[in-house]
Amino acid sequence: MGWFERTYNRIKRSKKKVDIPDGLWTKCIKCGEIIYNKKLEENLRVCPQCGYHFYIGARKRLEITLDKDSFREYDSVITSDNPLNFPHYEEKLEKSRKETGLDEAAIIGEGRIGGKSIVVGVTDYGFMRGSMASVVGERITEAVEKAIEKRYPLLIISGSGGGARMQEGMISLMQMAKTSAAIARLKRERLLYLSLLTHATMAGVMASFASQGDIILAEPGALLGFTGPRVIKQTIRQQLPPGFQSSEFLFKHGMIDLIVKRDEIRPTLIKILNLILPGF
Amino acid sequence: MVERSRYYLDFEKPIIELEQKITELEGLAKKEKLDFKEEIKILQSRLKNLKESIFANLTPWQRVQLARHPERPKPLQLASFIFEDFLLLHGDRLYGDDQAIIGGLAKIENEGIVFIGHQKGKSIKENLSRNFGMAHPEGYRKASRLMSLAEKFKKPVVTFIDTPGAYPGIQAEERGQAEAIAANLEKMARLETPILVIVTGEGGSGGALGIGVGDRILMLENAIYSVISPEGCAAILWKNQEKVEEAAEALRLTSQDLMKLGLIEEIIPEPLGGAHKDIEQTAINIKQAIIRNLSELKDLTLPELLEKRYEKYRRIGKFKRK
Ligand SMILES: [Zn+2]
CATH number at residue A237: 3.90.226.10
Q: Is the model's pLDDT at B61 over the cut of 80? A: yes
Identify the pLDDT of residue A97.
96
Identify the pLDDT of residue B36.
85
CA nearest to B232 within chain A: A1
Q: Which among B205, B213, B317 has CB closest to A138?
A: B317
> Helices marked H in B4-160 — which ranges?
13-32, 37-56, 60-67, 75-82, 124-130, 137-152
Number of CB pairs < 8 Å for A and B?
194
Per DSSP bridges, beta strands A106-113 and A72-73 are antiparallel
Instruction: Give the side-chain half-sphere CA count within 13 A for A136.
Output: 38
Identify the pLDDT of residue B276.
95
Instruction: Give the side-chain half-sphere CA count within 13 A for A167.
Output: 22
Q: Is residue A11 in some structural domain?
A: no
Residues A237 and A108 in one domain: yes
- Residue-wise pLDDT for A251-276, tens only, equals 999 999 999 999 999 999 999 999 99
For residues B67 and B220, give the distance between their C-alpha atoms in angstroms, rounded to a whole number: 9
Q: Which among B176, B205, B314 has CB closest to A173?
A: B205
- Residue-wise pLDDT for B248-307, tens only, equals 999 999 999 999 999 999 999 999 999 999 999 999 999 999 999 999 999 999 999 999
Q: pLDDT band at residue A279, thresholds of 50, 70 and 90?
A: low
Identify the pLDDT of residue A22.
58
For residues B284 and B122, give the distance between their C-alpha atoms in angstroms, rounded to a whole number: 21
The arithmetic mean of pLDDT across residues A235-263, rounded, is 96
B138-to-B120, B171, B197, B201 alpha-carbon distances in Å: 16, 11, 20, 22
> Helices marked H in A107-225 — which ranges?
134-150, 169-188, 203-206
Q: Is residue A19 in some structural domain?
A: no
Specify the higher pLDDT residue, A238 or A130: A130
Q: Is the model's pLDDT at A39 over the cut of 70? A: yes
Cα B259-B13-B133 angle, rounded to 5 deg = 55
Residues A78 and A200 in one domain: yes
Those residues whose C-beta lies under 8 Å from the C-beta of residue A198, and which sit 6 or more positions away, are A53, A61, A125, A157, A158, A159, A218, A219, A222
Identify the pLDDT of residue A183.
98
ipTM rounded to 2 decimals: 0.95
Interface residue of A170, A212, A230, A246 to substitute, partner B, most B CBs within 10 Å: A170
For residues B162 and B73, give the distance between their C-alpha atoms in angstroms, rounded to a whole number: 10
- Residue-wise pLDDT for B90-144, tens only, equals 999 999 999 999 999 999 999 999 999 999 998 889 999 999 999 999 999 999 9
How many Cβ atoms sit within 10 Å of the Cβ of residue A275? 7
Q: Which among B170, B176, B317 has CB closest to A244?
A: B170
Query: Which chain B residues have a beta carbon less than 8 Å from that of A80?
Result: 319-320
Identify the pLDDT of residue B34.
83
Number of domains in chain A: 2
- Cβ of A171 within 8 Å of Cβ of B317? The answer is yes
Name the domain boundary from A6, A38, A53.
A53
Query: Which chain A residues have a beta carbon less than 8 Å from that of B309?
Result: 181
CA neighbor of A212 nearest in space, from B171, B190, B145:
B190
Q: Is residue A152 in some structural domain?
A: yes
Q: Is the model's pLDDT at A17 over the cut of 60? A: no
Instruction: Give the side-chain half-sphere CA count within 13 A for A275.
Output: 7
- Cβ of A238 within 8 Å of Cβ of B173? The answer is no
Residues A30 and A82 in one domain: no
Q: Is the model's pLDDT at A44 over the cut of 50? A: yes
Residues A165 and A269 in one domain: yes
Q: Which among B178, B225, B309 has CB closest to A207?
A: B178
Query: Which chain A residues have a beta carbon less than 8 Å from that of B225?
Result: 170
Average the pLDDT over each of A120-124, A274-278, B71-75 and give the range with the smallest value.
Answer: A274-278
Interface residue of B136, B174, B227, B252 to substitute, partner A, most A CBs within 10 Å: B227
The arithmetic mean of pLDDT across residues A216-221, rounded, is 98
- Cβ of B251 within 8 Å of Cβ of A240? The answer is no
Q: Is residue A99 in some structural domain?
A: yes
Identify the pLDDT of residue B1.
40
Residues A103 and A29 in one domain: no
Radius of gyration of chain B (CA): 21
DSSP state of B272: T
Query: Which chain A residues have a beta carbon less than 8 Å from that of B209?
Result: 173, 176-177
Bridge-partner residues for A224, per DSSP?
A201
Report helix, strand and coil shares of chain A as percent, to nearest 5.
45, 20, 35
For residues B153 and B199, give the distance between their C-alpha atoms in angstroms, rounded to a whole number: 25
- Please tell me the pTM assigned to this model: 0.94
Read off the amino acid at residue A178: K
CA neighbor of A177 nearest in space, from B308, B176, B314:
B314
- How far is B322 from chain A, CA to nearest CA, in Å? 5
Identify the pLDDT of residue A23.
75
Q: Is residue A15 in some structural domain?
A: no
Task: Give kind and range of the element (H or E) at residue B203.
Answer: strand B195-204
Residues A172 and A126 in one domain: yes
Query: Which chain B residues have a beta carbon less than 8 Å from that of A215?
Result: none
Interface residue of B64, B141, B316, B322 to substitute, partner A, most A CBs within 10 Å: B316
Q: Which among B178, B186, B253 has CB closest to A180?
A: B186
- Cβ of A79 within 8 Å of Cβ of B318? The answer is no
Query: Cα of A32 to ligand 1 centre, how many Å?
Result: 6
Residues A40 and A155 in one domain: no
Q: Is the model's pLDDT at A18 over the cut of 60? A: no
A78 Cα distance to chain centroid: 20
Name the domain boundary from A34, A53, A72.
A53
For residues A142 and A73, give the distance between their C-alpha atoms in angstroms, rounded to a whole number: 12
Residues A100 and A235 in one domain: yes
- Residue-wise pLDDT for A24-34, tens only, equals 899 999 999 99
Specify the higher pLDDT residue, B60 or B122: B60
Q: Is the model's pLDDT at A280 over the cut of 50? A: no
Within an 8 Å CB–CB cutoff, is residue A212 touching chain B? yes
- Residue-wise pLDDT for B4-24, tens only, equals 456 889 999 999 999 999 999
Say whether A54 sits in a helix, a strand or coil.
Answer: coil
- Cβ of A181 within 8 Å of Cβ of B189? The answer is yes
Radius of gyration of chain A (CA): 18
Identify the pLDDT of residue B6.
65
Residues A35 and A81 in one domain: no
Q: Which among A169, A226, A241 has CB closest to B178?
A: A226
Identify the pLDDT of residue A3.
38
Instruction: Give the side-chain half-sphere CA count within 13 A for A121.
Output: 34
Return the sign of the alpha-carbon dihedral for residues B236, B238, B242, B248: negative
Q: Is residue A232 in some structural domain?
A: yes
For residues A133 and B308, give the distance between their C-alpha atoms in angstroms, rounded to a whole number: 22
Residues A75 and A40 in one domain: no
CB B22 within 8 A of CB B44: yes
CB B268 within 8 A of CB B286: yes
Query: Which chain B residues have a beta carbon less than 8 Å from that of A156?
Result: none
Specify the higher pLDDT residue, B173 or B3: B173
Q: What percent of chain B has pLDDT over 70?
A: 98
Q: Is residue A1 in some structural domain?
A: no
The arithmetic mean of pLDDT across residues A80-96, rounded, is 95
- Cβ of A244 within 8 Å of Cβ of B213? The answer is no
Return the sign of the alpha-carbon dihedral for residues A208, A214, A216, A217: negative
For A65, counting Cβ atoms within 10 Å of its Cβ (0-12 exposed, 13-18 middle, 19+ buried), the class is buried
Say whether B158 sits in a helix, a strand or coil.
Answer: strand
Residues A61 and A35 in one domain: no
Domain span at A34:
25-53
Identify the pLDDT of residue A263.
97
Q: Is residue A5 in some structural domain?
A: no
Within an 8 Å CB–CB cutoff, is residue A102 touching chain B? no
Residues A176 and A252 in one domain: yes
Bridge-partner residues for A46, per DSSP?
A53
Which residues line ion ligand 1, judged by CB < 5 Å? A 28, 30-31, 33, 47, 49-50, 52
Instruction: Give the side-chain half-sphere CA count within 13 A for B208.
Output: 27
Q: Which among B176, B250, B253 has CB closest to A253?
A: B176
CA neighbor of B147 nearest in space, from B92, B98, B97:
B92
